[in-house]
Amino acid sequence: MLFHVRMDVAIPRDLDPDERTRLVSTEKARALDLQRQGTWVHLWRVVGQYSNISVFDVDSSDALHDILWNLPLFPFMTVQITPLTEHPSALSANP
């Protein structure tokens, strides 16, 4: 199942700088691992914001929920999720 996910991150400015560095580097490592697994299919930065637009390919909404809830920066995120399905006019649907 494909999901479009927008993640807006708001790390508190008063968070300990060492903790912030640790969280951001752990988040990056997790994102890279999920991309290598083929789960985090696309990852784009939203220009001028601490946000991203992503596409996840997972077995279920529960699987996506588990992935997102276990991201190191999740406590500081606002997340919007849209389930996706193939459009009948997509080239892939009309070879």
Q: What is the DSSP string of 34-49?
A: HHHHTSEEEEEEPTTS
pLDDT, position 28: 98
39 lies in a domain? yes
Domain harbouring 75, CATH code: 3.30.70.1060
**pLDDT digits over 27-75, tens only?**
999 999 999 999 999 999 999 999 999 999 999 999 999 999 999 999 9
42 lies in a domain? yes
Q: How many domains does the chain divide into? A: 1
pLDDT, position 11: 97
Q: What residues have CB less than 8 Å from 3, skipping those under 6 apart?
A: 55, 56, 58, 61, 64, 81, 82, 83, 84
91 lies in a domain? no
Q: Tell which residue, 53, 46, 64, 45, has the closest CA to residue 2.
A: 64
Expressed as residue numbers, the domain containing 62 is 2-86
